[in-house]
Structure formats: C-alpha cells, structure tokens
Amino acid sequence: MKTQTIKQKMKKVRYFPSWMKKGHDENQSNAANIQFESSYTKYKSKFAYNKQEEISPEEQRRRINQNLRDLNYLSYENKIYYLSEYDEIRNAAQEILDWLNNIKEDGQIPVGFDMEWPFSYQTGPYKTALIQFSFSLDVCYLFQVWKLDTLPKSLVELIHHEKLLLHGICIKNDIRKLGRDFPNVGSVDKLVANCCDLGLYANKVLGINERWSMNKLVVEFLETGINKDKAVRASQWDKMLSEEQKIYAAIDVYASQLIFRKIKEKEEKRKTEAQINHLLTELEIDFKKEHQEEKDNEIINELRAEYENLKRLLESN
C-alpha cells in the first residue's frame, strides 16, 4: 500500500463546503464566481450578528466555532484568558510559576507557544503584540504585550522555566524576535536551543525532509484544516482583540499541543517497534548460537564415541 504524500493529504482536506468549491475553479465563468461570492457572503453571514445586537462573548464564540466546524476547520471551545494590563499579566504569570514550582515530578511539560504582531508591507513587521501559551488542551493564555515597554519579571521567568518545553512552528524565529522586541527577556540562545520546532520534530520522527507550515502539520497529523484567513492573520493585534482574533490565536497554540502529542505518539510507537525488532534480532542470534552449540556438542560426542571405540580396540590388541 502506497504511503500518501503531504500534498495528496492536503488535497483530501475539504477546506470549503462542496457548494463553494466552484468559486475556486479558474475555468468557471465570471457569473459562477459572482455566484460563489454571493453564496460565500451569505454563508459567512449565517452566523454573523448585528453589532447593535447585544450578544455575549460566549455566544459570539459559539457562532464563530460553528462557522469553523462547517468549514471543516479546527475549532476551540475551551477556556481563554485574555490579559492586556501589566499587573494582570504579571499576576497570571506568577500563578503559573507557583503551579510549576509545586510540581514534584521530573521531566518537562510541553507548552504550545506562539506570537502575533501587526505587519505592514511598507515597513515590515512591528513589535510583538501578543504572546500565546497553551499549558494544556483545556486552557489558553493570551498576553497582549504591545503597550508594555518591558515584560513582567514573572513572565520572563516563565518563558525561561526549566520545566517547560516550548514548542511551535518556526518557534526559534519567534523567540529571537521576542528577544529583540523586549531586551529584558535576556539571552535567548539557551531558549532557542531548548525549544522544539514542530516542523523539525516531525521530520526527525517521520524520517523525511518536508518544509512544514502549521496548515500542513494540521492536515498531516490532525486530518483537518485550520483557519488562516488573511483578514484575521494580518489583523490589528495591537488593538483590543475581537472574539474571532482570540479564537484564532488560541487555535494556533491548541493545534500545536495536539500536533506535538501526535508526533510524540508516533515517536514512542517507532521506538517500541525498534525495541521489539532489536529483541527479535537478539533472540534469533541466541537461537542460532544455541543451535550451533547443539551441533558442536553432537560432533564432540561423536568424536568421543569414536575415540572410546579406538581405545577399546587398542586395549584388546
């Protein structure tokens, strides 16, 4: 059975409902494209709401997640802590530090990590605006640091904490940018050396040399899609976040956690298979060795018998 390539898997993921696909066919007429745009607008507005209508953040999130599920995208319906004030971020980071310092077990805790910042095609990337953490599948922290001159000490300690294994796609570049934007982060060399790039990790475990994006990783390991709508991805991360931005940011680190676990499972499975194969090889070698020893013993016994016969003949003569 042939192994599917990444591109083949990407093609199988249905990013749009079937009635929307024709809008992406370059051979379709302008009328079809107009029909697609009209249908897509209607579809998007299915869960939209009038801004004058009072809708709770929970209801907004429910509608956004429903929209994502209908598009066959990864959704996130768990807890999001969105903090933008210095004291809020400092206190939240300290609470997490206290939790970490009370953990007695050895080993590192995998943590999804990502950052967002505004971007201009004229001036390039701006200062880091948002730092995302996923310590478990149930909780995501969004620290909006845009207006801070320096990061709180507790947040810096958290990022450097030896019990954390920060992971993400192209995470090493993010860490370096964070160090440039906030010098009080200190030396990032150790951080860069200790964090886990999911793309490199996937290549190591799968034994390939693929150039990964978050989208490709989600398709490969989660068999679904992820929303990378430019309208959200390149939005104003330095302003108060909308519910759509919060979910987008949370999904990135949530997906990182899911992907890390999937890669880890594959790694453990391959290690187990390698150990079993090694054990079988050793058993085979031992069996052959014992079998050879049995043969050697048979030859020795035959030689001894012949020797005894010759000895008796000599004695009789």
Residue type, 102: N
pLDDT score for 11: 55
Predicted local distance difference test score (pLDDT) of residue 132: 98
pLDDT surpasses 70 at 206 = yes
CA–CA dist 114, 132 (Å, integer):
5
User: Which letter does DSSP use for residue 123 in this model?
Assistant: T
d(CA 17, CA 19): 6
- pLDDT computed for residue 41 by the predictor: 44
Query: What pLDDT score was predicted for residue 7?
Result: 60
CA terminus-to-terminus distance, the chain: 75
Residue 67 has pLDDT above 80, yes or no: yes
Question: pLDDT above 90 covers what percent of the chain?
Answer: 53
Q: Are strands 119-120 and 109-116 parallel, antiparallel or unpaired?
A: unpaired
Q: Which residue has the tokens 């029909």?
A: 35
Look at residue 158 in the predicted model and tell me its pLDDT: 96
Q: Which two tokens stand for residue 158?
A: 């958290």
